[in-house]
DNA sequence: TTGTATGCGTTATCAT
DNA sequence: ATGATAACGCATACAA
């Protein structure tokens, strides 16, 4: 019924071993023989059985992408970068979503990885997430995206710098009373929210400005969270003249809160985000853009290398991608 | 080194066959025996080798999701629905992006499916896409999402109705000169853009209104496309008083175009979209919402059923999910 | 209910 | 450069 390597071998008058070598492009195969085998394989419409190949070789030819969200912009965009690289390399991409602490009832990812992938890519889990540690404990080649951990390869932006750039932008515009909408779990080491806050602090400190603790609110990296945080800021007795939101989605929520209060972004209060979200241009939001697709790409490429030569290469590399400030209408000089 | 089913069998004092049956929950296994085997397997930290299992059984335990885009809202959101169902079912999800005619240089999906998945889910490809036909020609269980084809299981919304709902909403508000921003390829049968246009036409016709061909422009389902289409509409000698955009993203672009022209959505021109995009609430856009996550869910569940009993069940079912109109500030009664 | 034995389709080692 | 053959780890028909 289904045609196997043996059929090809018989048709070509060679052994299965030769067919296997020829079709995989291994050396020590006569050019003519290889060509003949390839033609016959094509004629017979032969395709290798991945299961058999995997069983025999021990390699699965697939890698898992572990993410707390599949539909949200950042994660989906990273995923698209990963996918393009893996597709080119002929590697299967197994998508696995995890609970992200808040989420649904989901199976833990680690058990699902065993024996079925050659490596894993983890997107923006909390460094304290036990699921992350379970995955790392598996010992298979792994790269992190959007978070760092000591001793583990990762691809991120310089979050401290990103926070600093955003804050400095507002400072340069003359703002002094600056609010901040944080993600969550500021305090945990090696996290984007923490690092971005550190950058914010540093910029403020360098400028000789105080950080009013009443002007810092959690937005949990969601639009509604950002909206609530902004509402809290707006209802202060001394509202800020500018606000730094640690993500564009939170900034979107903040914009919405402003509109509810009849305030004009930029005009009344300046707002800057981080991400370079597709919608930020439409909403005229200033932002520190990060190359999200490239984050995924680089991580995938790095992992592929790691898979190729298990020994060679820097044991664990921390790749930092550049960010850039995009100034739009949501940030303006502080009105005199 | 790695522990196999034989190790478990030896430790339990039974045959590998019994272990295989016990661990897979098959009947005809003594309760006590099963329990003991499960405990021992857990103690030994045994995990089945998927490759071996697949090779022996012929089933791969995985299904492929084929999509023209992974990061765009609709596709990512559908994907999230699919993922949640497959994860619960313990099925591996292989993600494959395809060129979508415009896109990158990518490998055709069909060859990549052979012998490696039990079924496929295809998201919103054009019914005329040769890649789609290649996939269907594989003959494996397949469900379509967001498109229909005669004889193939699918999960969609009633696009004709959606178009009609959007148009009728504008008509009910007293608008008569109504523009439309289409996707693309209106004219091809069985496509969302075509059906939505048919609904639009029907509603207009029922209301005794003319469709001015100069008020129909392509937006190609993108924000910038929508922006350009809207700009074209605005620069007419007789601009419309209301516009129906076939997707929210195109509507977003239209809103942007309006802003560029100093026009207020709802106030100057009403705009309604289709989708129920996350951002539509923020942008105060009226829209005909579709249950995108559920589209993915249902398709995955249907496919799972199809996989379970290859014979039973309706041979090819066309599932229609409901849509609902969400009225927001972007649509208002026609000013007198 | 449980065991036996064969097959699944490759890869890889060792010869030749 | 090519061939023979033993793994690879499990599922399953057939027996018992």
At residue A192, the pLDDT reads 86
Give A121 CA → D1 C1' in Å. Answer: 40
- Is B229 part of a structural domain of the chain? yes
**pLDDT in the model for residue B184:** 77
What is residue A243's predicted lDDT score, i.e. its pLDDT? 98
Residues 197-226 of B with CB under 8 A from A: 223
Helices (H), chain B: 5-12, 16-23, 31-43, 50-57, 73-89, 109-113, 130-137, 159-172, 192-206, 223-234, 248-260, 278-282, 292-308
Residue A143 lies in a domain: yes
What is the structure's pLDDT at A106?
A: 80
Q: How confident is the model at residue A335 (pLDDT cuts 50, 70, 90)?
A: confident
For tokens 């422009």, the residue is: B217
Q: How far is the CA of B87 from the C1' of C2 (A)?
A: 33
Cα separations in angstroms, B148 against A38, A326, B98, B125, B195: 37, 42, 18, 10, 11
Please determine, for residue A103, whether its predicted confidence score (pLDDT) is greater than 60.
Answer: no
Distance from CA of A155 to the nearest CA of B (A): 19
Percent of residues, chain B, with pLDDT higher than 90: 88
pLDDT at B313 over 60: no
pLDDT at residue A266 tops 90: yes
Using CA atoms, how far residue A154 sits from A300, A313, A317, in Å, is 10, 14, 7
Note the CA–C1' distance, B22 to C5, in angstroms.
19
- CB-facing half-sphere around the CA of A206: CA atoms within 13 A: 12
Distance, Å, A18 CA → C14 C1'? 15
Q: For B180-202, what is the mean pLDDT?
A: 85
What lies within 8 Å, CB to CB, of A165 at 6+ separation is A199, A288, A323, A325
Alpha-carbon distance of A251 to A246, in angstroms, equals 8
CA distance linking residue A2 with residue B288, whole number of Å = 47
Which positions in strand D are less than 7 Å from the protein's CB atoms? Answer: 1-5, 7-13
- Number of Cβ within 10 Å of residue A162's Cβ equals 27
Cβ contact A30 with chain D strand, < 7 A = yes
Q: Touching check for A336 and chain B: CB below 8 Å?
A: no
- Minimum mean pLDDT range among A80-84, A165-169, B108-112: B108-112
pLDDT of residue A49: 98
Residue A308 has a pLDDT of 85
Whether A28 contacts chain B with CB within 8 A: no
**d(Cα B138, Cα B125) in Å, to the nearest integer?**
16
Higher pLDDT, B12 or B185: B12
Query: Chain A contacts of B88, Cβ < 8 Å?
Result: 107
Is residue A327 included in any domain, yes or no?
A: no
% of chain B residues with pLDDT over 70: 94
Most B CBs within 10 Å, among A95, A97, A297, to test the B interface: A95
Whole-prediction pTM: 0.95
User: Are residues B258 and B308 both part of a single domain?
Assistant: no
Q: Are residues B187 and B269 in the same domain?
A: yes
Does residue B50 sit at the A interface (CB-CB below 8 Å)? yes
Cβ of A116 near strand C (under 7 Å)? The reply is: no
Estimate to the nearest angstrom the gap between the alpha carbon of A183 and the chain centroid: 16
- Work out the pLDDT band at A191, boundaries 50, 70, 90: confident
- pLDDT greater at residue A274 or residue A101: A274
Structural domain count, chain B: 3
Question: Distance between CA atoms of B301 and A314, rounded to whole angstroms?
Answer: 44
Instruction: Mark whether A151 and A218 lie in a shared domain.
Output: no
B27/D16 CA-to-C1' distance in Å: 18
Range of lowest pLDDT (A121-125, A202-206, B102-106, B160-164): B102-106
The verdict on B16 touching A (C-beta cutoff 8 Å) is no
| Residues B148 and B172 reside in one and the same domain | no
pLDDT at B165: 98
Q: The tokens 């300046």 sit on which residue?
A: A270
Q: What pLDDT does B64 receive?
A: 98
Q: Do B87 and A79 touch (CB under 8 A)?
A: no
The pLDDT confidence band at residue B101, using thresholds 50, 70 and 90, is low
Looking at the fold, whether B170 and B287 belong to one and the same domain comes out as: yes
B80-92 confidence digits (pLDDT tens)? 999 999 999 999 9
Q: Please give the Cα distance from A13 to A15 (Å, whole number).
A: 7
A26 in any annotated domain: yes
Question: Which window residues (7-36, chain B) lie with Cβ within 7 Å of strand D?
Answer: 16-17, 20-21, 23-24
A152 and A296 belong to one structural domain: yes
Whether residues B235 and B301 share a domain: the answer is no
Distance CA B46, CA B68 (A): 38
> Is the pLDDT score of B312 beyond 90?
no
Q: H/E/C letters for each residue in B205-247?
A: HHCCCCCCHHHEEECCCCHHHHHHHHHHHHCCCCCCCEEEECC
In a domain, B334, yes or no: no
**Distance, CA of A314 to C1' of C13, in Å:** 32
CB contact under 8 A, A77 and B71: yes
Q: Are residues A102 and A221 located together in one domain of the fold?
A: no
- Is residue A187 domain-resident? yes
For B210-231, write each residue's pLDDT tens digit.
Answer: 999 999 999 999 999 999 999 9
pLDDT exceeds 70 at position B104: no
Same domain as B284, residue B168? yes
Q: Mutating which of B49, B70, B79, B280 best tests the A interface, going by the most A Cβ atoms within 10 A?
A: B70
CA neighbor of A97 nearest in space, from B15, B296, B56, B168 = B296
B285 and B296: one domain? no
CATH number for position A192: 3.40.50.2300
Residue A227 sits in the same domain as residue A314: no
Q: Which nucleotide is nearest to B29 (CA to C1')?
A: C1
* Exposure of A83 in the CB half-sphere (CA atoms within 13 A): 28
pLDDT, tens only, B260-285: 999 999 999 999 999 999 999 999 99
Calculate mean pLDDT across residues A183-189.
Answer: 67
Strands ordered across the beta sheet of B154-157: A318-321, A154-157, A142-145, A119-123, A62-67, A92-97, B92-97, B62-67, B119-123, B142-145, B154-157, B318-321
Can you give the CATH number for the domain in which B29 is found?
Answer: 1.10.260.40
Three-class HEC string of chain A: CCCCHHHHHHHHCCCHHHHHHHHCCCCCCCHHHHHHHHHHHHHCCCCCCHHHHHHHHCCCCEEEEEECCCCCHHHHHHHHHHHHHHHHHCCEEEEEECCCCCCCCCCCHHHHHCCCCCEEEEECCCCCCHHHHHHHHCCCCEEEECCCECCECEEEECHHHHHHHHHHHHHHCCCCCEEEEECCCECECCCHHHHHHHHHHHHHHHCCCCCCHHHEEECCCCHHHHHHHHHHHHCCCCCCCEEEECCHHHHHHHHHHHHHCCCCECCCEEEEEEECCHHHHHCCCEEEECCHHHHHHHHHHHHHHHHHCCCCCCCCCEEEECCEEECCCCCCCCCC
Q: Does residue B336 belong to any structural domain of this protein?
A: no
Q: Is the CB of A56 under 7 A from strand C?
A: yes
Burial A80-89, CB ≥16 within 10 A → b, else e:
bbbbbbbbee
Residue B156 DSSP SS3: strand
pLDDT (mean) for A63-88:
97
Of the candidates A122, A142, A119, which has an alpha carbon nearest to the alpha carbon of residue A131?
A: A122
Q: Say how many C-beta atoms besides its own lie within 10 A of residue A100's C-beta.
A: 17
Q: What is the pLDDT of residues B39-94, one digit of tens each?
A: 999 999 999 999 999 999 999 999 999 999 999 999 999 999 999 999 999 999 99
- In percent, the amount of chain A with pLDDT more than 90 equals 88
Tell me if B83 and A92 make a contact (CB, 8 A cut-off).
no
For residue A252, the enclosing domain spans 159-291
Q: Which residues of A touch B47 (CB under 8 A)?
A: 111, 114-115
Q: Which residue from A88, A107, A279 is facing B279, i.e. has the nearest CB?
A: A279
A169 shares its domain with A126: no
Q: How do residues A284-308 score in pLDDT, each as one tens digit?
A: 999 999 999 999 999 999 999 999 8
State the average pLDDT for chain B: 94
In a domain, B330, yes or no: no
b/e burial code for range A248-283 (CB count within 10 A of at least 16 → b): bbbbbbbbbbbeeeebebbeebbbbbbbbbbbbebb
User: Which two three-digit tokens encode residue B318?
Assistant: 């066309």
The three-class DSSP label of residue B255 is helix
Q: Which of A198, A202, A268 is nearest to A230 (CA)?
A: A268
CA distance B240 to chain A (A): 22
Between CA B297 and CA B119 the distance in angstroms is 15
């Amino acid at each position: 019924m289904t045609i196997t390597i043996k059929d090809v071998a018989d048709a070509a008058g060679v052994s299965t071993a030769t067919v296997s070598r020829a079709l995989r492009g291994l050396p020590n195969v006569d050019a003519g023989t290889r060509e003949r085998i390839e033609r016959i394989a094509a004629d017979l419409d032969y395709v290798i059985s991945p299961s058999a190949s995997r069983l025999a070789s021990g390699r699965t030819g697939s890698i898992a992408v572990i993410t707390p969200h599949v539909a949200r912009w950042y994660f989906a965009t990273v995923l698209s970068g990963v996918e393009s690289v893996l597709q080119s390399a002929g590697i299967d991409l197994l998508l696995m979503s995890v609970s992200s602490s808040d989420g649904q009832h989901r199976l833990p990812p680690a058990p699902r990885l065993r024996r079925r992938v050659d490596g894993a890519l983890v997107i923006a889990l909390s460094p304290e997430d036990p699921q992350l540690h379970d995955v790392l404990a598996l010992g298979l080649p792994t790269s992190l995206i959007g978070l760092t951990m000591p001793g583990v390869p990762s691809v991120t932006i310089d979050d401290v710098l990103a926070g600093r750039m955003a804050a400095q932008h507002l400072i340069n515009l003359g703002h002094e009373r600056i609010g901040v909408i944080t993600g969550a779990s500021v305090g945990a080491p090696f996290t984007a929210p923490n690092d971005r806050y550190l950058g914010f602090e540093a910029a403020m400190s360098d400028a000789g400005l105080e950080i009013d603790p009443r002007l810092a609110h959690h937005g949990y990296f969601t639009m509604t969270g950002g909206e609530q945080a902004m509402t809290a800021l707006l209802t202060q007795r001394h509202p800020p003249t500018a606000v730094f939101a640690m993500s564009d989605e939170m900034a979107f929520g903040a914009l919405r809160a402003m509109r509810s209060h009849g305030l004009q972004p930029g005009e009344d209060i300046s707002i800057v985000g981080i991400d370079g979200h597709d919608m930020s241009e439409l909403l005229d939001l200033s932002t520190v853009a990060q190359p999200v697709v490239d984050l995924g790409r680089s991580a995938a490429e790095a992992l592929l290398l790691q898979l190729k030569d298990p020994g060679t290469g820097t044991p664990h590399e921390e790749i930092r991608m550049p960010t850039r400030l995009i100034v739009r209408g949501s940030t303006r000089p502080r009105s005199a």
